[in-house]
Structure 1
Amino acid sequence: MSENPKQVTGNAGLFYASYQLSIRGWNVLPTSRNSKGPDLFIYSQDGKKMYKIQVKALTKHNHINPGKMDSWLMNDFVIICTNVYSNPEIYIGKPKQFTVNKHGWIPKDSYSKFKDNWKIIK
């Protein structure tokens, strides 16, 4: 497969995360792409719980650039979707749980412990 643009990779991760949340019973609303703020809003079937989610998508298991910290921290959860074109893997945590190194990146080994951490979204 030829290399896809970053926007296509982002969309693949966003919609894979949306699918996974939907089959777990959440109503999922994607926001406008490439704008400040959450990528997804989710809410429970009874409408009593609502969360903001940032989605980061990668073609392989690699380091993450969280972007501007104020945008990162405004979310309730972060979903990192790696290997979006082959065998997607999901990592889920709260923004403050991810370790940002001195270069401003989240190393891949620091988010690996959050693999399939769906139980955090209650």
Structure 2
Amino acid sequence: MQAKLDPHVIGNVGLYYCCYRLSLLGWNVMPTTRNARGVDIIAYNASGSTFIRVQLKALSKRSAVPLGSSLNKIAGDFWVIVNNVVTEPSAFVLLPSEVKQRAGCNEKDGQVSYWLDPPRYDQEAFRDAWHRIGSGQA
């Protein structure tokens, strides 16, 4: 039985899994400072002519992705959600606009929170859809 991992470790596993997958596509990948506001990964193609910014959410199991109190913080060119990072990582590649369109909202005691439920991101169109990002070979 797997011991429960610290959320920072789960985040790192997801981050480096995503970096690995992007590297296989030919991107030069640079993780940003952990827990900094903004994107988690910056990557550029082989010629240095194209840059992409990736926001990553790593989860230990198939669960909802917390998005915070505002959808204005959804940044980057792509969003990658990696769940089951310890056992069998599954990655879902979405555009920020798709995350916003699919976000659920809850209000309790005047506090608003947004999230992305698994049925809203765990779809064949997004599953391992690294082709949406494209190749870094050009």
What's the TM-score once normalised by structure 2's chain length? 0.84
Match 1:101 to one of 90, 100, 104: 104
Report how far residue 69 of structure 1 moved.
2.5
1:1-122 alignment runs, 5 A limit: 1-67=2-68, 68-72=70-74, 74-98=75-99, 99-103=102-106, 104-113=114-123, 114-122=126-134
- Structure 2 stretches lacking a partner, 5+ long: 107-113
Percentage identity across aligned positions?
Answer: 33
Amino acid at match of 2:116: I
Higher strand proportion: 2
Over the residues paired in the alignment, what is the CA RMSD in angstroms? 1.0
How many angstroms apart in 2 are the aligned matches of 1:49 and 1:20? 18
Which stretch shifts more, 84-93 or 58-67?
A: 58-67
How many angstroms apart in 1 are the aligned matches of 2:56 and 2:46? 22
Question: What SS is found at the alignment partner of 2:52?
Answer: strand
How many angstroms apart in 1 are the aligned matches of 2:93 and 2:67? 14
How many angstroms apart in 2 are the aligned matches of 1:100 and 1:63? 10
Max radius of gyration: which structure? 2
Higher helix proportion: 1
What's the TM-score once normalised by structure 1's chain length? 0.94
Report how far residue 71 of structure 1 moved.
2.5
- Structure 1 stretches lacking a partner, 5+ long: none
How many angstroms apart in 2 are the aligned matches of 1:18 and 1:70? 25
Q: Which has the higher contact order (CA 8 A, sep 6+)?
A: 2
Report how far residue 92 of structure 1 moved.
0.3
How many angstroms apart in 2 are the aligned matches of 1:26 and 1:86? 25
How many angstroms apart in 2 are the aligned matches of 1:89 and 1:106? 16
